[in-house]
């Protein structure tokens, strides 16, 4: 069973890191199989607003998406997903961020068009 630390804290005052709390619970005879930190490894992932969508001039399965990542500047991203509309809020991996699988996000050219980050799905 998965249990949130915030939920457990409503019933008992825990002090320490999640790992220390896991050890305390194990010491009480409660099995703790895994501790997962939500959001770990997601530095550089922000919420961006879709400003514009248009077809890629040289690819049928890619579209060009302009997004605002919060600084008011429009960034062009090449994207294979077609399930978004102008105004949508989408997860956006900014340049220099590292995905949980170790892939580093950089500025890349896809079929002649620059992609300045990656939309995450």
C-alpha count within 13 angstroms, C-beta hemisphere, residue 2: 4
More confident residue, 12 or 23: 23
Model confidence pLDDT, tens digit, residues 48-68: 999 999 999 999 999 999 999
Contact 74, 67 (CB under 8 A): yes
For the domain 45-119, what is the CATH code? 2.40.50.140
Contact 46, 94 (CB under 8 A): yes
Model confidence pLDDT, tens digit, residues 6-21: 888 888 888 888 899 8
Phi/psi at 32 (5° precision)? -115, 110
Span(s) in the chain for CATH 2.40.50.140:
45-119
Beta carbons within 8 Å of 52's beta carbon, 6+ residues apart: 65, 66, 74, 86
What integer pLDDT is reported at residue 1 of this predicted model? 81
pLDDT bin (cut points 50, 70, 90) of residue 25 is confident
pLDDT bin (cut points 50, 70, 90) of residue 75 is very high
DSSP collapsed to 3 states, 81-109: CCCCCCCCEEEEECCCCECCCCCECCCEE
**5 pLDDT above the threshold of 90:** no
Q: Mean pLDDT over residues 24-48, rounded? A: 87
What integer pLDDT is reported at residue 69 of this predicted model? 95
């Amino acid at each position: 069973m998965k249990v949130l630390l915030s939920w457990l804290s409503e019933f008992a005052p825990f002090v320490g890191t999640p790992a220390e709390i896991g050890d305390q619970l194990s010491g009480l005879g409660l099995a703790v199989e895994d501790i997962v930190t939500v959001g770990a490894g997601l530095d550089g992932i922000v919420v961006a607003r879709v400003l514009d969508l248009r077809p890629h001039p040289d690819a049928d399965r890619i579209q060009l998406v302009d997004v605002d990542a919060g600084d008011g500047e429009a960034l062009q991203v090449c994207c294979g997903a077609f399930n978004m509309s102008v105004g949508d809020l989408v997860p956006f991996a900014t340049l220099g961020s590292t995905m949980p699988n170790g892939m580093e996000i950089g500025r890349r050219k896809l079929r002649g068009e620059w992609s300045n980050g990656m939309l995450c799905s």
